[in-house]
Amino acid sequence: MNQRKITLITVPAILLLLASLLGYKIWVTTEVKEKIVAATEYLPSMQLRKMDGSLFNTDSLKFNGQILVLNYFNPDCEHCHTMVQEMFREKSLLQNVDWLMIASTPIEKTKIFSDSMQLLQLENVTVLSDTALVFAKTFGTVSVPSFYVYKNGKLLRKHSGECSVAYLVKE
């Protein structure tokens, strides 16, 4: 075989192989996203750590019609700091809301953030550490801040990035 025949056979074969790999990658990504959507339609069971080191399980939450906000954050995120400041300004909106702030940073760093932002002053806010990345694995790769709003265990809305507290807690 001469060089030209080899090229005419291998180039289309390589292109077909690349197109197949791309199609497979798209299919796998779609499958993963569909599984995440199905797994988070209702509040998933997750075990996280409170700032005192004790375990917290989402299965222990009681649903009595209140809104539950899962807030994935990072102590170094400026938008996360801004959201906490707004939570204090809009404290009255949080009266009938359970708010879980979840960080994947080491518990010591998360606790420093919690203390410096005085989060214990917010009545229904619980700060949790997730160094095992349970939240990120369950909800997929998430940016900070990210919010997942549940009512009676069912997902109402999700939001990625900074937004108003009023938007998050509306029914």
> pLDDT tier at 110 (50, 70, 90 boundaries)?
very high
The more confident residue out of 147 and 17 is 147
In this prediction the pTM is: 0.81
- Residue 69 pLDDT > 90, yes or no? yes
The phi, psi pair for 4, rounded to 5°, reads -65, -40
Fold of 47-169: Glutaredoxin (3.40.30)
DSSP category for residue 53: S
Q: What is the pLDDT of residues 27-66, one digit of tens each?
A: 756 666 677 656 689 999 999 999 999 999 999 998 888 9
Distance between CA atoms of residues 21 and 3, nearest Å: 27
Query: How many Cα atoms are found within 13 Å in the side-chain-facing hemisphere of 79?
Result: 15
- Residue 133 pLDDT > 90, yes or no? yes
Any bridge partners for residue 155, and if so which? 150
How far is the first Cα of the chain from the last one, in angstroms, to the nearest whole number?
Answer: 71
Distance between CA atoms of residues 110 and 102, nearest Å: 9
- Residue 76 pLDDT > 90, yes or no? yes
> pLDDT tier at 131 (50, 70, 90 boundaries)?
very high
> pLDDT tier at 86 (50, 70, 90 boundaries)?
very high
Any bridge partners for residue 13, and if so which? none
Residue 19 exposed, middle or buried by CB count within 10 Å (0-12, 13-18, 19+)? exposed
Give the SS3 label for residue 127.
strand
> Which pLDDT score, from 0 to 100, does residue 125 have?
96
The helix (run of H) or strand (run of E) holding residue 120 is: none
- Residue 5 pLDDT > 90, yes or no? no
